[in-house]
Amino acid sequence: MEHRTGLEDRYVLKNNKRLRCGYTTGTCAAAAAKAAAFMLFLKKDIREIELTVPEGTCLHLAVEEICREPEAVSCAVRKDGGDDPDVTHGLLIFARVRKSDADGVQISGGRGVGIVTKKGLWQPVGEAAINRVPREMITRAVEEVCEELEQPCRIAVEISAPGGEEIAQRTFNPRLGIEGGISILGTSGIVVPMSEEALIASIRLEMEMKRAAGREYLLITPGNYGEDFLREGMKIDTSDSMKCSNYVGETLDSAVELGFRGILFVAHIGKFIKVSGGIMNTHSRSADCRAELMAAQALRAGADPETVRRILDTITTEEALDILKEKNLAAQTMREILPRIRYYLQHRCGGALKTEAVLFSNQHGYLGETEGAEELLRQFRAADR
């Protein structure tokens, strides 16, 4: 009998074809850690584990490759990316769990999980490339086991992905400065297969719904980081915001067609530095030029040639910002970047609507805003009250 995960009825339509949803490497890691923790305390094998992912779905995942040692247990959950083109599909994600002398849940990476070697990513240099949300999922899953079984929560968890070293070469990890394996990723816990056309159509549909509800202005973030900053950094209710993913240009086109009066974008500098160069699809496969654009604006802001060369050698915009902060050039460089972002947004929409932007970074927080952003911010803050 085929194992049922709870995703059997989750799919998206593409050209009248159903595309299956799947689950992330972060979900696999958390589920394996939870199963291994149960087995550590119960001293018996568990072949299926229940896990509720951040977006709320309760999954029932098969547990494989169980190995019980005197002081530890390891097991794996197999990654299923659904019908999304995913290089990690089918990979076994292992968790090895043992009791620890330290309080709480300690998480480390083993074979096949990359190590961060460059600044600017979620984890510090030298740490395993296990992103923030998967770490939270793993911690919560193990804590639930300890609470249910009334055991002290002093647990060490090692996440590994044998074969991840080879798979990582087909990802952007080497360019990002993540060496030796894959990243453990995921923010919702679920992989939703989505073609570019279908994603753009879904963005437009959400815009149409907001316009039908009488909205004249849009509050837009490219993704989850922007939404988090909006909520935590700017204290703005995100319930009426929406995401445009990488499709800045198509979002502007639809806003004009639907008769909106303005858009405020709240975006990570890594996305919108591209917009400052007129790039309206911010996905890396369409264009990059982040270091080149950061270097160009730093030069305009007064950076010396050596600083410009250092920025050109950076992997992430967070790393470039560190250099600008070191040289006391961050504010001046933002004053070069922001008007150019506004210019190209206006150029794309032909001046048919008001377009403003707020920029932030994960490490440095608020970076600046275009000249008319505060006016739109007042409208959205007033709507919260």
Please return the burial class of 312, using the count of CB atoms within 10 Å of its CB with bins 0-12, 13-18 and 19+.
Answer: middle
Per-residue pLDDT tens for 159-174? 999 999 999 988 878 8
Q: What is the dihedral of CA 263, 266, 268, 272, to 10 degrees?
A: 20
Taking the C-alpha atoms of residue 210 and residue 204, their distance in angstroms, rounded to an integer, is: 10
Query: How many C-beta atoms surround the C-beta of residue 248 within 10 A?
Result: 28
The proportion of the chain whose per-residue pLDDT surpasses 70, expressed as a percent, equals 96
Asked if residue 14 has pLDDT above 80, the reply is no
202, pLDDT greater than 80: no
Structure-model confidence comparison of residues 198 and 159, the more confident one: 159
Which of 384, 345, 341 is CA-nearest to residue 253?
345
Largest CA distance in the chain: 69
Structural domains of the chain in order of their starting residue, each with its CATH number = 11-191 (3.30.2110.10), 196-384 (no CATH)
Q: Calculate the CA 246 to chain-centre distance.
A: 13
| CA quadruple 185, 270, 239, 232: dihedral sign | positive
- Percentage of the chain exceeding pLDDT 90: 69
- The CA–CA distances, whole Å, from 296 to 270, 276, 305, 334, 336 equal 15, 11, 11, 12, 9
**Residue 244, C-beta contacts closer than 8 angstroms, at least 6 positions apart:** 203, 220, 221, 222, 250, 251, 265
Q: Coil, helix or strand for 273?
A: helix
Q: How confident is the model at residue 198 (pLDDT cuts 50, 70, 90)?
A: low
Mean pLDDT confidence for 208-222: 91
Smallest Cα–Cα separation from 135: which of 187, 181, 172, 179? 187
- Residue 194: predicted pLDDT: 67
What does DSSP assign to residue 86? -
Q: Token pair for residue 33?
A: 């850690």
Q: Are strands 22-23 and 48-52 parallel, antiparallel or unpaired?
A: unpaired
The average confidence (pLDDT) of the chain is 91
Q: What integer is the mean pLDDT of 87-116?
A: 95
Q: What is the DSSP letter of 124?
A: P
SS3 51: strand
What gap in Å lies between CA 156 and CA 132, rounded to an integer? 17
Q: Is the pLDDT of residue 134 over 60?
A: yes
Of 64-78, 166-180, 282-296, 355-369, minimum mean pLDDT range? 166-180
- The CA distances from residue 219 to 269, 307, 377, in Å, are 17, 35, 9
For residue 144, the model assigns a pLDDT of 96
* Model confidence at 2: pLDDT above 80: no
Digit-coded pLDDT (tens) for 318-353: 999 999 999 999 999 999 999 999 999 999 999 999
Question: Which has more pLDDT, 17 or 65?
Answer: 65
Q: What pLDDT, on a 0 to 100 scale, did the predictor assign at position 150?
A: 95
pLDDT band for position 384 (50/70/90)? Answer: low
For range 243-259, the mean pLDDT: 95
Global pTM reads: 0.64
Residue 1 is predicted with a pLDDT of 45
Q: What does the block give as tokens for 175?
A: 């360019």
